């Protein structure tokens, strides 16, 4: 699979992979289930990953507790933020314009959300396995959902992953999401060895019925 720097995507033709939302929309209207639909993007009709390097704008990996709607069940979501360079910001603006046109072409009037926050920051989800014991991406640090304090020491992040377009059928909005395949933390200033990356199988995404709740203070070890 090809991996492109984010800033070079404008030289490729971006399209949606197997986009047929009619069935999903009809099912949601009838059952009120399946409100989030994920569609992969293609570059020149082929799968691809993007590569982004940015300065970390969070204190390592952050955790937030969510509560499932109409349920007592809770779970923790993990994210990390990076400050993007101007060329990557321009690339995302171009992607938003491309996605807006693609959405219009399939006959939907959905608002397209901007993934950039505070002018230049991109926040990426760090998915875990179903048991919440491992992160679902390769990393140059020996981190787990229970132990990721070393990420606080990094200054820069190298991200590689897939680009996916999500559709929120309830809110009638859509936007880009970045699916992490690998994260490399810049640890050059640390006189400390780290373990080699370990890849794990990606688990299914769960986006339905998410409602954020207050998170108790947690000490990262």
The proportion of the chain whose per-residue pLDDT surpasses 70, expressed as a percent, equals 84
Q: 24: buried, middle or exposed (CB in 10 Å: 19+, 13-18, 0-12)?
A: middle
pLDDT at residue 38, as a whole number: 92
Residue-wise pLDDT tens digits, 77-89: 999 999 999 999 9
pLDDT of residue 193: 36
pLDDT at residue 23, rounded to an integer: 86
The CA–CA distances, whole Å, from 102 to 15, 39, 172, 175, 221 equal 7, 12, 15, 12, 44
Minimum mean pLDDT among 31-45, 105-119, 192-206: which range? 192-206
Q: Using one digit for the tens of pLDDT, what is the confidence trace for 148-160?
A: 988 888 899 999 9
Return the pLDDT at 214: 43
- pLDDT confidence of 101, banded at 50, 70, 90? very high
Residue 208 has pLDDT above 60, yes or no: no
Is there a contact between 6 and 50 (Cβ–Cβ < 8 Å)? yes
Tell me: the pLDDT tens digits for 167-178?
999 999 999 999
The pLDDT assigned to 153 comes to 83
Look over the chain and give the mean of its residue pLDDT values, rounded to a whole number: 84
66 with 74: CB under 8 angstroms? yes
């Amino acid at each position: 699979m090809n991996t492109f720097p984010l800033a070079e995507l404008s030289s490729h033709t971006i399209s949606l992979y197997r986009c047929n939302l009619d069935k999903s929309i009809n099912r949601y209207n009838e059952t009120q289930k399946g409100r989030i639909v994920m569609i992969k993007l293609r570059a020149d009709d082929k799968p691809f990953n993007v590569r982004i390097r940015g300065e970390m704008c969070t204190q390592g990996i952050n955790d937030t507790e969510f509560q499932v709607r109409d349920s007592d069940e809770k779970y923790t979501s993990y994210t990390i933020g990076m400050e993007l360079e101007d060329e990557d910001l321009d690339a995302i603006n171009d992607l938003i314009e491309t996605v807006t046109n693609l959405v219009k072409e399939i006959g939907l009037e959905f608002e397209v959300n901007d993934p950039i926050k505070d002018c230049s920051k991109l926040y990426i989800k760090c998915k875990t396995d179903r048991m919440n014991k491992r992160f679902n991406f390769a990393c140059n640090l020996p981190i787990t959902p229970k132990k990721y304090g070393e990420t606080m020491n990094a200054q820069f992040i190298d991200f590689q992953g897939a680009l996916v377009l999500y559709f929120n059928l309830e809110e009638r909005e859509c936007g880009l999401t970045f699916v992490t395949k690998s994260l490399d933390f810049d640890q050059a200033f640390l006189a400390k060895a780290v373990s080699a990356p370990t890849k794990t199988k990606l688990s299914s995404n769960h986006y339905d019925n998410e409602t954020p709740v207050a998170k108790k203070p947690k000490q990262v070890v």
